[in-house]
C-alpha cells in the first residue's frame, strides 16, 4: 500500500529546497578524521565507486596537500570517470590550490582569500567559501563576509556548525537570513555533538540551503556529522518520489556495512533504515496492525531500501494474530481458537526465556501434529 507522509513539504515555498538538493558526501574527507579511520587507496576507490553508484552528486576528499598519499589518492579517484563531481578541501594558500588543480578535481572548498578565489575562478574550478563555527560568529560580520565573497563569484558559501551547538530554529533563522543576502548556492555542514545534525540539515533546506554534507554512518571528527542514511531517511519521508528517483536506495545497507567493516565498528542496532531492528515489530497490537497495513507503524517502506520487515513472536508480548501469520507461512492449518491456545503456550514458555524462531516453529509443528495427527 502506497503511503504519502503527512509530514512532507506540503506548502509551497519558493525558497525551500526540500525537493531540490545535492549531497556532498564527505566520508573520504570528514570521515578520514574519525578516530578509527584509515582508508587505503583501494578502499577509497571502492567507497567512491559505491557512493557514485548510489547517486550522490559530490564526493569530498582530503586535501592533496595533507600528504603525498592523499594527493595520489585524489588523482586515482578523479581518473575513474565518475558521475559525481570530485571536491577537495584546502587552505587558502596558492601552493595548495596548484596542487589541488593538478589532481583534476572539479571543485575546491576553501577559506578566505580574495586572490585565491579569483585564481580558482580563472581556472574554471567550482569554488565554495566557508567559515568555521558559523553559529558562534557575529551575525553582521558573517553576512558582510558572505556578501563580499558572493560578489567575487563563488559557486557556494558554506555554513558550518563546527561544534554541533545549533538547533533547528537557529539554523532556519540564519539560513533564511543568508538566503536574502547572497545569490549563490548555500552548503551546510552540521556536526552531531548534540544530536541535531539530521534535523538541522532538513531545516536548512527548508530555509533555502542547496547542498548538505554527509558521511556514511555519520563518521567524522569527534562524534561526526549528518549521517548519509539518516539524512536520506528524512528526505525520503519528505518527498519519497524525488528521493527514490535520485538515489539507488537499496545500496544503503551495503554502503553502511562496508564502512562499518573499514573502521571496525558495528552498524548501530537503531541505525536509520539499516539497523538490525529498524523494521522489527514486537508488541501484539503493533504486529496485528503491521500485518493488516504496514503504514500504521512504518513511515518508511523497508522494501524500497532492500530491507525486510520482521514480526517477532517468540516472547511474552506476542499476540495471536502474529502467531497466525507464522502458522500460515509454515503452511499449517489451524483454527483461530487453536492458534490462540498455542499462542498461550508460547507466552508461557517465553516468561522463562525468549524463544528463537526455530523454537517457535518447532512448537507450532508439534502442536499441529498433536491435534491433527502425524500424517496430516
Taking residue 290's Cβ as centre, other Cβ atoms within 10 Å add up to 22
Q: Which residues are catalytic?
A: 286
At a CB cut-off of 8 Å and minimum separation 6, what does 341 contact?
A: 367
- State the DSSP code for 249: G
Q: How many residues does the chain have?
A: 376
Cα-only R_g, the chain = 25
N- to C-terminal Cα distance for the chain? 36
Nearest to 149 by CA among 106, 112, 179, 122: 112
Residue of 101, 69, 97 whose CA lies nearest to 86:
101
Any alpha helices (H) in 18-138, and if so which ranges?
41-54, 68-78, 94-102, 114-122
The packing angle between helices 197-207 and 228-238, to 10°, is 50
* Strand, helix or coil for residue 364: helix
Q: What is the DSSP letter of 303?
A: G
Rounded to whole angstroms, the maximal C-alpha distance in the chain is: 88
Nearest residue to 32 (alpha-carbon basis) of 226, 192, 271, 262: 262
Instruction: Say how far apart CA 22 and CA 5 lie, in whole Å.
Output: 22
The pairs formed by 304-307 with CB atoms below 8 angstroms and a separation of 24 or more are 304/236, 304/240, 304/244, 304/249, 304/250, 305/249, 305/250, 305/252, 305/253, 305/273, 305/274, 306/249, 306/250, 306/251, 306/252, 306/253, 307/253, 307/273, 307/274, 307/278, 307/279
* Nearby residues of 336 by Cβ (< 8 Å), 6 or more positions away: 320, 324
Amino acid at each position: 500500500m502506497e503511503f504519502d507522509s503527512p509530514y512532507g513539504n506540503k506548502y509551497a515555498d519558493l525558497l525551500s529546497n526540500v525537493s531540490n538538493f545535492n549531497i556532498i558526501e564527505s566520508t573520504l574527507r570528514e570521515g578520514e578524521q574519525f578516530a578509527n579511520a584509515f582508508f587505503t587507496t583501494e578502499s577509497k576507490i571502492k567507497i567512491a565507486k559505491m557512493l557514485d553508484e548510489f547517486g550522490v552528486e559530490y564526493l569530498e576528499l582530503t586535501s592533496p596537500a595533507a600528504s603525498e598519499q592523499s594527493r595520489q589518492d585524489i588523482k586515482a579517484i578523479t581518473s575513474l570517470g565518475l558521475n559525481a563531481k570530485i571536491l577537495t578541501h584546502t587552505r587558502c594558500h596558492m601552493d595548495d590550490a596548484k596542487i589541488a588543480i593538478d589532481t583534476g578535481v572539479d571543485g575546491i572548498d576553501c577559506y578566505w582569500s580574495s586572490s585565491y578565489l579569483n585564481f580558482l575562478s580563472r581556472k574554471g574550478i567550482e569554488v565554495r567559501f566557508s567559515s568555521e563555527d558559523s553559529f558562534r560568529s557575529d551575525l553582521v560580520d558573517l553576512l558582510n563576509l558572505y556578501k563580499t565573497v558572493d560578489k567575487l563569484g563563488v559557486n557556494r558559501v558554506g555554513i558550518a556548525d563546527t561544534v554541533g551547538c545549533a538547533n533547528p530554529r537557529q539554523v532556519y533563522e540564519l539560513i533564511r537570513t543568508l538566503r536574502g543576502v547572497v545569490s549563490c548556492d548555500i552548503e551546510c555542514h552540521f556536526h552531531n555533538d548534540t544530536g541535531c545534525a539530521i534535523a538541522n540539515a532538513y531545516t536548512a533546506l527548508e530555509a533555502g540551503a542547496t547542498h548538505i554534507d554527509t558521511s556514511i554512518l555519520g563518521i567524522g571528527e569527534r562524534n561526526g556529522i549528518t549521517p548519509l542514511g539518516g539524512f536520506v531517511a528524512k528526505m525520503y519521508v519528505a518527498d519519497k518520489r524525488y528521493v527514490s528517483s535520485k538515489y539507488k536506495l537499496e545500496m544503503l545497507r551495503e554502503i553502511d556495512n562496508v564502512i562499518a567493516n573499514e573502521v571496525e565498528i558495528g552498524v548501530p542496532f537503531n541505525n536509520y533504515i539499516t539497523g538490525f531492528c529498524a523494521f522489527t515489530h514486537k508488541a501484539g497490537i503493533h504486529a496485528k496492525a503491521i500485518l493488516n497495513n504496514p503504514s500504521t507503524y512504518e513511515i518508511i517502506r523497508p522494501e524500497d531500501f532492500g530491507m525486510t520487515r520482521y514480526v517477532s513472536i517468540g516472547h511474552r508480548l506476542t499476540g495471536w494474530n502474529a502467531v497466525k501469520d507464522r502458522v500460515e507461512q509454515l503452511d499449517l492449518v489451524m483454527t483461530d481458537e487453536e492458534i490462540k491456545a498455542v499462542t498461550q503456550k508460547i507466552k508461557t514458555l517465553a516468561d522463562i526465556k525468549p524463544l528463537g524462531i526455530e523454537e517457535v516453529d518447532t512448537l507450532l509443528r508439534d502442536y499441529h501434529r498433536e491435534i491433527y495427527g502425524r500424517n496430516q
